[in-house]
Structure 1
Amino acid sequence: MQFPLVHISWALADNAARPACDAFFQDVFGAETVFEMLVTPETEHYGFDREERLMMIGDAMIIPIAPAGGGAQEGSPLGDMLRRSAAPMRWIGLALKTTDLKAADDWFASRGFKRHYDRGMEEHYFLVPRGQVMGMRLEIVKQDMPNEPRIRPDWSPARWRDAHPLGIEGLQAVGISAPSLAEARELFAGKLEWPEIAARGEGDAHLAAFAMGDTVLEALEGAEGSPVADHARDVKGIYHLVFKVKDAASAASYLRGKGLTLIGDVSARFAIAPGEAQGRLIWFTETTPGGYPEVGSKLGEVAGG
């Protein structure tokens, strides 16, 4: 069963930090806001416990989330989760799209996954807690996100490729740190039935790539003492994102012009130093590894849930 990617989310411990985080993506990536949830006097009666901005970067939706309203108080389930999850190199997880929530629930149940339903949201989504997916929470959603642009027949991510200096063509992969590739294969190719499409060395790690809906999940097993191995032991979950760009040298020149420090190899794969990228590792490459599909969201093909 294939589930197109809806969004990638991570947590901020303090809502005061969210504007700077959002501004980073708007300034550096040309992120486009499609919706912002705010706690205001007009929305207070809804009981919101967070604030968040839904931002598009090419065909990918990124959502930094911070506790607010009732979530700012200790003891709030959502607020406490966000505070626990807010740390450098830590992400919440992925949301994946389904048009039939009951069938998706049955599919995950048949593979031994426990599902969690937030009260009142039983018809809209369920969660597969992060402890079952190597520290990456999965949210299986039926409803479309507010103002979802990718379901519109006239929507195109081409402006990020053609008009923005980064030249982003699309999201190529999401990386996750794994205790071992054997465990990753058992989980992703086995239980989740995401076909393995590539395997290679990547820096100080071994990598196995799996076809996950309309993007790629890269599982990395790091050498002992490496950042990847430390992440798999201490942080867990999503380790990086990879964006495909039209011209790597031009993208690197633009980022350096912003005063950002780059790591990696521009001719292969390079990133903004995580300390200058909101504590997350985001790679860029102009190459498509063997076996990988061309980038491009398929969300519009399963719209209207």
Structure 2
Amino acid sequence: MQFPLVHVSWALADNAQRPACDAFFREVFGAQTAYEIRVTPETEKLGLDREESLLMIGDTMVIPIAPAGRGAEKGNPLGEMLRRSAAPGRWIGLALKVGDLAQADAWFAARGFKRFYDPGMEAHYFLVPKGQMLGMRLEIVKQDMPNDPRRDPAWFPAKDDPLGIEGLQAVGVSTPTLAEAQALFADKLGCKDLGGRDLPEARCAAFAIGDTVLETLEGTPGSAAAHHAAEVKGICHLVFKLRDAAAAAARLRGQGLPLIGEVEDRFAIHPDAAHGRLIWLTGVTPPGYPPPGSRLGTGIALPR
């Protein structure tokens, strides 16, 4: 499966948390705001049920989403989904871009996947539910995200961001066993197997997906990765490649942020200080991994 990554999303339980979360990513990661979706008297009349900022970390779009407007009401479907998905360590999923939605639908159907369409959005995207993706919701989209700067061939990410981010290196997904991950991502979806390696608390098998990498983690007994696979499921981390890991770590420590991991390998702000999300930073590229960088505008085709 080779369609490029559009965005990574996660949920906040309460819209009052969103401004601080957005500010954290702007101030610490140098995130740039591409677009904001806000509840106003006009949009609330149209039934808007969430607020979100489309944030660019380098050339990767990340979207923290919070229930608002009708979504704040008890029983609202999207609001309830966001509140269920807002626990620490839990993400919503990935969105991938295609040029032909009907062709993509047929491609997934031929591989036995269920597809769901939100009413009124049948021409724009469909969802592959998380129960078929090791707990990760997959959104297959045809439309462009509003004000997505990657649509402009002349655009490029800022080179003076505070951490020196080169791009998204990988998305981590917990799995009960690597055999299950192999059966899903390599055998069923046709993702290229990039090989495996041992991490401090897990065995890792990597697969190429679109223009990034899925790191599937089978945690050692009692580890956080094993707990995530059993109790949380789905995406467990992101990894961003840095130009200078030591300089980035020094900057974060100077801001008083607690770090975990090893600067020489990969390190992260402790999730408790990062709005409950684990985002690794590294200056190292594992063998077989592609160079980081969005290829959203290159028209990557579906595999046969």
- The one-letter code of the counterpart of 1:3 is F
The aligned runs of 1:59-70 (5 Å cut-off) are 59-70=59-70
**Deviation of 1:42 (Å):** 3.1
The aligned runs of 1:62-81 (5 Å cut-off) are 62-81=62-81
Is 1:240 aligned to residue 237 of structure 2?
Answer: yes
Unaligned runs of 5+ in 1: none
* Contact 1:165–1:250 (Cα < 8 Å) also in 2: no
**Deviation of 1:258 (Å):** 1.1
TM normalised by structure 2 equals: 0.97
SS in 2 for 1:289: coil
TM normalised by structure 1 equals: 0.97
SS in 1 for 2:161: coil
Unaligned runs of 5+ in 2: none
**Deviation of 1:277 (Å):** 0.6
SS in 1 for 2:172: strand
Is 1:213 aligned to residue 207 of structure 2?
Answer: no
Looking at structure 2, the residues matched to 272 and 242 of structure 1 have their Cα atoms a distance apart, in angstroms, of 12
The aligned runs of 1:1-305 (5 Å cut-off) are 1-157=1-157, 159=158, 162-302=159-299
SS in 2 for 1:243: strand
- The one-letter code of the counterpart of 1:57 is I
Q: Number of matched residues?
A: 300
Looking at structure 2, the residues matched to 102 and 258 of structure 1 have their Cα atoms a distance apart, in angstroms, of 48
Looking at structure 1, the residues matched to 228 and 97 of structure 2 have their Cα atoms a distance apart, in angstroms, of 27
Looking at structure 1, the residues matched to 128 and 156 of structure 2 have their Cα atoms a distance apart, in angstroms, of 31
What CA deviation, in whole Å up to 9, does each residue of 1:95-128 have, x standing for no partner?
Answer: 0000000000001111111010000000000000
Looking at structure 2, the residues matched to 269 and 29 of structure 1 have their Cα atoms a distance apart, in angstroms, of 16
SS in 2 for 1:242: strand
SS in 2 for 1:43: helix
What CA deviation, in whole Å up to 9, does each residue of 1:48-107 have, x standing for no partner?
Answer: 010000000001101000111111111111011001111000000000000000000001
Looking at structure 1, the residues matched to 272 and 107 of structure 2 have their Cα atoms a distance apart, in angstroms, of 39
**Deviation of 1:247 (Å):** 0.4
Looking at structure 1, the residues matched to 255 and 117 of structure 2 have their Cα atoms a distance apart, in angstroms, of 43
**Deviation of 1:164 (Å):** 2.0
- The one-letter code of the counterpart of 1:25 is F
SS in 1 for 2:42: coil
- The one-letter code of the counterpart of 2:45 is H
**Deviation of 1:165 (Å):** 2.6
**Deviation of 1:43 (Å):** 2.2
Looking at structure 2, the residues matched to 142 and 165 of structure 1 have their Cα atoms a distance apart, in angstroms, of 33
- The one-letter code of the counterpart of 1:269 is R
Looking at structure 2, the residues matched to 43 and 279 of structure 1 have their Cα atoms a distance apart, in angstroms, of 30
SS in 1 for 2:41: coil
